Structure 1
Amino acid sequence: MRAMVYRGPYRVRVEEKDRPRIEHPNDAIVRVTRAAICGSDLHLYHGMMPDTRVGMTFGHEFVGVVDEVGSSVQRLKAGDRVMVPFNIFCGTCFFCARGLYSNCHNVNPNATAVGGIYGYSHTSGGYDGGQSEYVRVPFADVGPSLIPEWMEDDDAVLLTDALATGYFGAQLGGIVEGDVVVVFGAGPVGLYAAKSAWLMGAGRVIVIDHLDYRLEKARTFAHAETYNFTRYDDIVVHMKKITDHLGADVAIDAVGAEADGNLIQHVTGAKLKLQGGSPVALNWAIDAVRKGGTVSVMGAYGPMFSAVKFGDAVNKGLTLRMNQCPVKRQWPRLFEHVRNGYLKPSDIVTHRIPLEHIAEGYHMFSAKLDGCIKPIIVPNAA
């Protein structure tokens, strides 16, 4: 099959790889019809996540058609159209039983925190991802769901991570009616978090970013108030000024390890494999929220040795809530929002890229060219 293959920082290409095979009776093989490049894929692309190995295929957002199932699979059959959450989980361990699918205890031998993730370095289990023609899906009776007949692939693929994660970020904020919510980051997850905040009763939604075209999307898609932090001496001081000098009720960090990176990050991350992120946005969130407020974090972070203002968070009496999104737990409510027209996930898609051109897609997304907000990858005809 043809698949995207990592060859080192800033070097990806499409190569022939062995088609995945059934390795366990609970496996399925899925023919991918849509995949996506996620902002967190850029951390891998830039060489900033530890143990990202040459030869790996990225891609944790994908949907497709079941091509083959293992002998124990009961809920899927060949020909089924499925969406696959980015979490790989067993469904039966202590954490899965509590809906913490992103913290599954049985799918990742390399970490004690995060569970398994498709296409996201060996710190997340070393599973190949869906930026390819076919992908192996473990625990096929547990993770994948049938795509509703009324849902398009371009919408379904965005529920496998970006929309679910943005919604989860708003959910972690514990938003109550009338709250002022500030979202740091106007990428896809930040846009969805801002849109979701309204659904949860926010009275005011503010989005902070440094790219004008993304802020324009935040205004038109999420109906948010927007500010470009490069135009202010101190964006936190400005946030205080526009919130009666109190701060927001809820701050959502939709940045995580900054995808652009800085020199120190690149040296310690790409060269020394020490660091998975810079806490700039997280510290802004801590500073910009009011005393007694809530900070929600669902961005992608690896090991981080930079200083987080934890003392300030303690002294302000903040509630900090964070995790990788347990995607499948969000689907029932999101299906209703999409079906009822409150959310149209594909409205943020700006580019549809053939798999053969994925190297150009990564460059465009990384360099923020051509107004790129969310690129969809098309490995096969639907």
Structure 2
Amino acid sequence: MRAMVYRGPYRVRVEDKPRPRIEHPNDAIVRVRRAAICGSDLHLFHGMMPDTRVGHTFGHEFVGVVDEVGPSVRHLAVGDRVMVPFNIFCGTCFFCARGLWSNCHNVNANATAVGGIYGYSHTTGGYDGGQAEYVRVPFADVGPMVVPDWLDEEDALLMTDALSTGYFGAQLADIHEGDTVAVLGAGPVGLYAARSAWFMGAGRVVVVDHLAERLEMARTFAHAEVLDYDEVDDVVMAMKRLTDHLGFDRVIDAVGAEADGNMTQHLTSARLKLQGGSPTALNWAIDGVRKGGTVSVMGAYGPIFSAVKFGDAVNKGLTLRMNQAPVKRQWPRLLEHIGNGFLKPNDIVTHRFGLEEIADAYHVFSAKLDGCIKPVIVVDDD
């Protein structure tokens, strides 16, 4: 098959690779139709995620058609159109039994925190991802879901991570009716979190970023106010001014350790605006939320060694909530919102590339060229 492969930092290409095979009776092989590049894929692309091995195939957002099933699979059949959550989970362990599917205990021998994730290095289990013609899907009776006939394929694709994660971020923020909500970062997850905040009763939503195209998408798609941090001297003070100097009731960090940071920032917590190696966005959230407020962390963080203002969080009486999204848990409510016409997920898609163009797609997305907000990879358009 043809698949994207990692050849080192900033080096990806499409190569021939062995087609995956059934390795366990509960596996399925899915022929990929659409995949996406996620902002967190850039951590891998830039060489900032430990144990990203040469030859690994990225891609944790994908939809496709079941091509083969193992002998124990009961809920899927060859030919089913499926969407696959980015989490790989067994469905039966201590954590899965409590709905913590992103923390499954049986799918990742390399970590004690996160479970398995498709295409996200050997720190999350070493599973190849969906930026390829075919992908092996473990626990096929547990994770994938047959796509409803009425659901657009790209909308289903975006439910496999970005939309579900943004919605989960708004859930974790514990929004009450009339609350003021700030979202740091206007990438896809931040945009979806801002839009979801309205579903949960927010009275005011403000999105913080600096890229003009993202701020415009925050206005038009998320119906939010915007704060361009390049236009203010002190972001936290600007956030306070917007809230009568109290701070926001809820702040959602949808930035995390952005992939364009460096080791100096990791070690020194250098205060560069929304640059990746320091927890700048998280500290803005802690400083910009009101006393007794809630900070929801959706940004992707790896092994960061710099200083988070935890003492300030304690002294302000903050609630900090965070996790990788248990994607499939969000789907019933999201399907209601989409089916009722309240949300069209693929409205944020700005670029589409063929699989053979994936090196260009990574370059355009990483360098934020041509107003790229969300790129989709068209693998099979038959």
TM range (shorter): over 0.9
Give the structure 1 partner of residue 273 of structure 2. Answer: none
CA distance in 1, matches of 2:59, 2:161: 11
TM-score, normalised by the number of residues in structure 1: 0.97
CA distance in 2, matches of 1:140, 1:366: 32
TM-score, normalised by the number of residues in structure 2: 0.97
Give the structure 2 partner of residue 321 of structure 1. Answer: 321
CA distance in 2, matches of 1:120, 1:223: 32
Cα offsets for 1:229-287 (capped at 9, x unmatched): 1111101001101100000000000011113324625999xxxxxxx842010000000
CA distance in 1, matches of 2:131, 2:278: 27
Give the structure 2 partner of residue 30 of structure 1. Answer: 30
Give the structure 2 partner of residue 303 of structure 1. Answer: 303
Cα offsets for 1:140-182 (capped at 9, x unmatched): 0000000010001111000000000000000000000000000
Cα offsets for 1:280-301 (capped at 9, x unmatched): 1000000000000000002111
List gaps (5 residues or longer) in structure 1: 269-275
Q: How does 1:269-280 map to 2 (within 5 A)?
A: 277-280=277-280
CA distance in 2, matches of 1:17, 1:361: 20
- Counterpart amino acid of residue 369 in structure 1: L
Q: Give SS of 2:35's match.
A: strand
CA distance in 2, matches of 1:263, 1:146: 43
- Counterpart amino acid of residue 339 in structure 1: G
- Counterpart amino acid of residue 342 in structure 2: Y
- Counterpart amino acid of residue 101 in structure 2: Y
Q: How does 1:311-350 map to 2 (within 5 A)?
A: 311-350=311-350
Give the structure 1 partner of residue 39 of structure 2. Answer: 39
Give the structure 1 partner of residue 367 of structure 2. Answer: 367
Give the structure 2 partner of residue 20 of structure 1. Answer: 20
CA distance in 2, matches of 1:185, 1:260: 14
Note if contact 1:165-1:325 (Cα within 8 Å) is conserved in structure 2.
yes
Give the structure 2 partner of residue 237 of structure 1. Answer: 237
- Counterpart amino acid of residue 139 in structure 1: F
CA distance in 2, matches of 1:3, 1:263: 31
CA distance in 2, matches of 1:85, 1:99: 14
CA distance in 2, matches of 1:63, 1:26: 19
Cα offsets for 1:50-91 (capped at 9, x unmatched): 111110000000000000000000000100000000000000
- Counterpart amino acid of residue 43 in structure 1: H
Give the structure 2 partner of residue 121 of structure 1. Answer: 121
Q: Give SS of 1:64's match.
A: strand
CA distance in 1, matches of 2:364, 2:345: 21
Note if contact 1:253-1:281 (Cα within 8 Å) is conserved in structure 2.
yes
Note if contact 1:22-1:29 (Cα within 8 Å) is conserved in structure 2.
yes
Note if contact 2:266-2:305 (Cα within 8 Å) is conserved in structure 1.
no
Q: Give SS of 1:7's match.
A: strand
CA distance in 1, matches of 2:262, 2:204: 32
* Shift >4 Å, 4+ stretches: 265-268
Note if contact 2:266-2:304 (Cα within 8 Å) is conserved in structure 1.
no
- Counterpart amino acid of residue 22 in structure 1: I
CA distance in 2, matches of 1:93, 1:295: 29
**CA separation of 1:277/1:73 partners in 2, compared to 1, >3 Å: closer, same or farther?**
farther
**CA separation of 1:78/1:267 partners in 2, compared to 1, >3 Å: closer, same or farther?**
farther
Note if contact 1:50-1:121 (Cα within 8 Å) is conserved in structure 2.
yes
Note if contact 2:263-2:277 (Cα within 8 Å) is conserved in structure 1.
no
Q: Give SS of 2:369's match.
A: coil
Q: Give SS of 1:106's match.
A: coil
Note if contact 1:83-1:145 (Cα within 8 Å) is conserved in structure 2.
yes
Note if contact 2:352-2:375 (Cα within 8 Å) is conserved in structure 1.
yes
CA distance in 2, matches of 1:161, 1:339: 18
**Cα RMSD for the two superposed structures:** 1.2
Q: Give SS of 1:3's match.
A: strand
Cα offsets for 1:171-223 (capped at 9, x unmatched): 00000000000000000000000000000000000000011110000000001
Note if contact 1:73-1:141 (Cα within 8 Å) is conserved in structure 2.
yes
Q: How does 1:72-221 map to 2 (within 5 A)?
A: 72-221=72-221
List gaps (5 residues or longer) in structure 2: 269-275
CA distance in 1, matches of 2:166, 2:64: 22
CA distance in 2, matches of 1:277, 1:126: 24
**CA separation of 1:103/1:263 partners in 2, compared to 1, >3 Å: closer, same or farther?**
closer
Aligned residues: 375
- Counterpart amino acid of residue 260 in structure 1: D
Give the structure 2 partner of residue 10 of structure 1. Answer: 10
Note if contact 2:83-2:147 (Cα within 8 Å) is conserved in structure 1.
yes
User: Post-superposition shift, 1:102?
Assistant: 0.2
CA distance in 2, matches of 1:345, 1:328: 16
